[in-house]
């Protein structure tokens, strides 16, 4: 009998498309439309003229609850969950008000993920798994397993980790199809 491998999966920027949400909030606030191409390679604080804009959006009620889902995330995570030990891992303690919103979001979009599979923490270096899928390279650098960099606007120039361009690439990585 083989032992199932464990995969830790980040939420923001991996399961959820926070970039699209930032752009929508910015448009509502300013009336200025910014395209995804215009912010490629920029850290969050440099995406908008006002460097505090992203943190202002993060503090709005329901920001985390209304994040859009990344394409194919539900289907691929369901398939992964059927074949691996899956844990959703979010460094949510930076925004403690996000805990309930993130948990409610997970229940809506990933009802097959149980509460025992959700880890809200402050520092992901404590996470022990075979794989971690994350969009922030600093989380992968401190991870002891195999780090997989999920493609995001802010990390397009990062090297050193195998890049997953989208959820179909994750599926192909783990299942070969």
How far apart (Å, rounded) are the C-alpha atoms in residues 67 and 74?
Answer: 14
* Residues written for the chain: 177
Q: Which token pair is 89?
A: 């891992």
DSSP annotation of 70 reads: P
Calculate the alpha carbon distances from 171 to 15, 78, 126, 142 in Å: 13, 11, 26, 24
Residue with tokens 């908008």: 48
Give the active site residue among 12, 75, 130, 166: 12
Q: Which token pair is 2?
A: 């083989």
Segment (H or E) for 80: helix 73-83
82 among known catalytic residues = no
Residue with tokens 């949510």: 92
12 among known catalytic residues = yes
Give the active site residue among 10, 50, 123, 135: 10
Question: Which residues are CB-neighbours of 130 under 8 A, at least 6 positions away?
Answer: 5, 6, 7, 145, 146
Q: Catalytic positions, please?
A: 10, 12
């Amino acid at each position: 009998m083989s032992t199932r491998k464990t995969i830790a999966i980040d939420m923001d920027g991996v399961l959820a498309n926070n970039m699209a949400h930032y752009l929508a909030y910015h448009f509502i606030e300013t009336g200025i439309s910014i395209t995804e191409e215009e912010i490629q390679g920029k850290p969050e604080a440099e995406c908008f003229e006002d460097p505090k804009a992203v943190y202002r959006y993060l503090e709005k009620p329901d920001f985390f609850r209304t994040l859009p889902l990344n394409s194919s995330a539900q289907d691929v995570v369901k398939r992964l969950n059927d074949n691996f030990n899956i844990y959703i891992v979010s460094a949510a303690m930076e925004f403690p008000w996000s805990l309930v919103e993130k948990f409610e979001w997970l229940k809506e979009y990933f009802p097959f993920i149980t509460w025992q599979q959700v880890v809200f923490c402050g520092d992901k270096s404590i996470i022990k798994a075979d794989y971690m899928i994350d969009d922030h390279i600093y989380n992968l650098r401190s991870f002891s397993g195999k780090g997989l960099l999920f493609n995001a606007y802010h990390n397009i120039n990062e090297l050193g980790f195998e890049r997953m361009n989208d959820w179909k690439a994750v599926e192909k990585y783990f299942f070969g199809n």
